[in-house]
Amino acid sequence: MLQIVNYPHPALRYASRAITEIDNDLHATVRTMFELMYAAKGIGLAANQVGLPFRFFVLNLSADPEQKDQELVFINPEIVKRHSSIEDEEGCLSIPGVYAKVRRARKVKVRAYDLTGELVEHDANELFSRAVQHETDHLDGKLFIDYLDATAQQTVADKLRVFELTYRQAQSSGAVPADVELIRRLDSMPRPMVNNSELSAADGPDDSANPVPEAREQEHHAERDDYNRAPGASEEEHRAEHDDYANRAPRSGVKERDAERDDGANPVLESS
Ligand SMILES: [Zn+2]
């Protein structure tokens, strides 16, 4: 079953692949992620925080499981505009107990698909803006501690060392697989599934869900090949592939007009 992984699990440094299909597995995974997030008293959770190398995250700024109407799902998100900047304290469910001030854009415009396959745009301010930036960073393998200056790094260094030590001990005891094995699993995972720990390359895609339009069948197979890429590819090559995936519409439920709108806009992720 899914669980939140802690720093320095390699999933947290993984540049995630775009979602190409919104199927029942994704719906179930999203539901499970909300429950994990509520249990941990968080307001946001990215897929790689539960060991899934895919571009989506969930958000509920109320952190209240009763307020389901506040739940938001961001699939293949792109921050298309950033405005001004502001510093505020941040934490992360994958580095519990570590907090630090991070400077981020005050406002962002984010574009993402929701669970119905609808392309949605949000103008986010304040906490919403910060959460969107924090979670989108996760999908690029980036953590809030990466932004800290030398002085701030010093203040969290001891806590991070404890996380590192705990994690490496779990690996040497065999409770957690070695990084090279975890990365192999991330590389070969064909799509989000709640029971991903049991997932092996032998489990093919579930074709019973959402038939793939014929025109895209070939592209579909090409993508699968990429997913099965052998481990050990360089980070640069890795990211180059993901750039191709960026801003791709997920397969199911995407309306024609959304696809057009998407092509027209073709947002570029601004560097901070
Ligand atoms: Zn986080």
Among 136-150, 223-237, 245-259, the least confident range: 223-237
Whether the CB-CB separation of 226 and 190 falls below 8 Å is answered with no
Structure tokens at 195: 């029971």
Whether the CB-CB separation of 267 and 78 falls below 8 Å is answered with yes
- Tell me: the pLDDT tens digits for 173-223? 999 999 999 999 999 998 887 765 444 333 444 444 443 233 333 333 333
Whether the CB-CB separation of 87 and 101 falls below 8 Å is answered with yes
Task: Establish if 266 belongs to a structural domain.
Answer: no
Residue of 78, 90, 135, 223 marked catalytic: 135
Q: What local confidence, expressed as pLDDT, does residue 252 receive? A: 61
Q: What local confidence, expressed as pLDDT, does residue 83 receive? A: 98
Task: Establish if 28 belongs to a structural domain.
Answer: yes
Task: Establish if 3 belongs to a structural domain.
Answer: no
Task: Establish if 66 belongs to a structural domain.
Answer: yes
Q: What local confidence, expressed as pLDDT, does residue 147 receive? A: 97
Beta strands in 48-139 (DSSP E): 56-59, 72-90, 100-113, 119-125
For residue 23, the domain's CATH number is 3.90.45.10
Q: What local confidence, expressed as pLDDT, does residue 192 receive? A: 86
Preceding peptide of 231 cis, ω within 30°: no
Q: Does the annotation count 135 as an active-site position?
A: yes
Whole-prediction pTM: 0.75
Task: Establish if 121 belongs to a structural domain.
Answer: yes
| Cα 131 to middle of ligand 1, angstroms | 9
| Cα 165 to middle of ligand 1, angstroms | 20
Q: What local confidence, expressed as pLDDT, does residue 271 receive? A: 34
| Cα 86 to middle of ligand 1, angstroms | 18
Task: Establish if 39 belongs to a structural domain.
Answer: yes
Q: Report how far apart, in Å, the C-alpha atoms of 156 and of each of 91, 147, 162, 170 are.
A: 11, 12, 10, 21
- Place 264 in a pLDDT band, splitting at 50, 70 and 90: very low
- Tell me: the pLDDT tens digits for 93-141? 999 999 999 999 999 999 999 999 999 999 999 999 999 999 999 999 9
Task: Establish if 267 belongs to a structural domain.
Answer: no
- Place 92 in a pLDDT band, splitting at 50, 70 and 90: very high
Task: Establish if 265 belongs to a structural domain.
Answer: no
| Cα 49 to middle of ligand 1, angstroms | 7
- Place 251 in a pLDDT band, splitting at 50, 70 and 90: low
Whether the CB-CB separation of 147 and 173 falls below 8 Å is answered with no
User: How far is 269 from 272, CA to CA, in rounded Å?
Assistant: 9
Give the number of domains in the chain: 1
- Tell me: the pLDDT tens digits for 10-68? 999 999 999 999 999 999 999 999 999 999 999 999 999 999 999 999 999 999 999 99
- Place 1 in a pLDDT band, splitting at 50, 70 and 90: confident
Which residue range forms the structural domain that includes residue 191? 10-254
| Cα 210 to middle of ligand 1, angstroms | 31
User: Which of 163 and 199 is assigned the larger pLDDT?
Assistant: 163
| Cα 168 to middle of ligand 1, angstroms | 20
Neighbour count for residue 185 (Cβ, 10 Å):
19
| Cα 159 to middle of ligand 1, angstroms | 16
Q: What local confidence, expressed as pLDDT, does residue 238 receive? A: 42
